[in-house]
Amino acid sequence: MIRQRLIFYGRVQGVGFRYRARYAAMDLDLTGWVKNNYDGSVEMEVQGDRENITKMIQSISKGRFLKVTGLDRTDIPLKEDERDFRVEYY
């Protein structure tokens, strides 16, 4: 199990990105959160199996109206008590 901080760049706000992420996370048994940043990027912390995190990224990056032009990935410490994946707001 791993936890990663992901920052997505491109046309990722106003296109349903966060909700696609939430549903993909729920389907893949991932935990964490996702939120819009003021600079137009979307930030996410996601925890679970490395393969499922990769599947989630691939799934949400295929949205019809969104376009991911960049992605920063950083491994961060696990949060043992986290149980769900949520959409957060500024």
Please give the positions annotated as active site. 18, 36
Using CA atoms, how far apart are residues 53 and 11, in angstroms rounded to an integer? 21
Q: Cα torsion at 13, 18, 9, 68 (round to 10°)?
A: -100
